[in-house]
Every structure is written in C-alpha cells, then in structure tokens.
Amino acid sequence: IADKARKQVFAYDGAGNLIAAYPASIGSTDTPSPSGTVTVERVAFNPGYTYNPKINFQQGGNDKILNIPPGPNGPVGTVWMALSKPTYGIHGTPEPSKIGRTQSHGCIRLTNWDATELAKMVKPGVTVEFVD
C-alpha cells in the first residue's frame, strides 16, 4: 500500500501480515500519483535512467532525451520497480534526506536501502494500492 497522506509504503506478506513500513515521497500536486490498484511489472537493480520529455514530466525547457548511466546517484537510485501504469514506478533516490519532505514526479520514492529491500520482496504481478 502506498499511503499518500501518511507518506508511507506498507508491505504485506501473502497472508496479509505487515512485514515492512517505509517513509516515502509519493507524487505531488503538479504530478500526482495514480489512484487505485496497479501491479509491479518488472524489477531492475542498478538501472540506468532515460528521460524523455515527450512521455515524462517536463524538466524546465529541456526538449532532448537524456540517458543517465546506472549508479546510486542517478534519479532512480539503486532500483526501479516498474508499475503497470506507464512511466510510474517505485524507486530509490540519491537524496535520502528528502524522503517524506519533498514531492516526486508521481512515482513512489524511497531511500536506496529501503527500495532495495522492498525490491527483494516483490516480483511481477504483486499489487500496489495507492491510497489517498
């Protein structure tokens, strides 16, 4: 569960028991997170990042595609969990001090260590419910 109001992500096992809770940044007024239920489509550790202004959020006046190599200081940190809503995911961040304090571009942003831990617990098909 991605609880937007609490700015937290709650992970449950197959029996419905809470197994982890993480502080998170979830969306913003300008680029809100989706509502409802989506699924994890894939998990990528140590991902690169491609910014495409035609399908992603607008970054200033940039109109060029940017490819950023993998690494913990990249925009999505150490892991990317793609969701079934295109361009949305759960990911890490190079700036852990901003978790829960700043807004994301609609994704669920966790610290690199929390995102990595969560990624090891999920697999494609796991549901993610966005709660307002």
Q: Dump pLDDT digits (tens) for 72-81.
A: 888 899 999 9
> How far is the CA of 55 from the CAs of 48, 75, 111, in angstroms?
17, 16, 25
- Considering the domain delimited by 2-131, tell me its CATH architecture: Beta Barrel (2.40)
The pLDDT tens digits for 8-17 are: 999 999 999 9
Catalytic residue among 107, 108, 115, 118: 107
Catalytic residue among 43, 47, 83, 91: 91
- Whether 105 is catalytic is no
- Whether 40 is catalytic is no
pTM over 0.95: no
Domain spans in the chain, listed from the N-terminal domain onward: 2-131
Decide: 57 and 31 in contact? Cβ < 8 Å.
yes
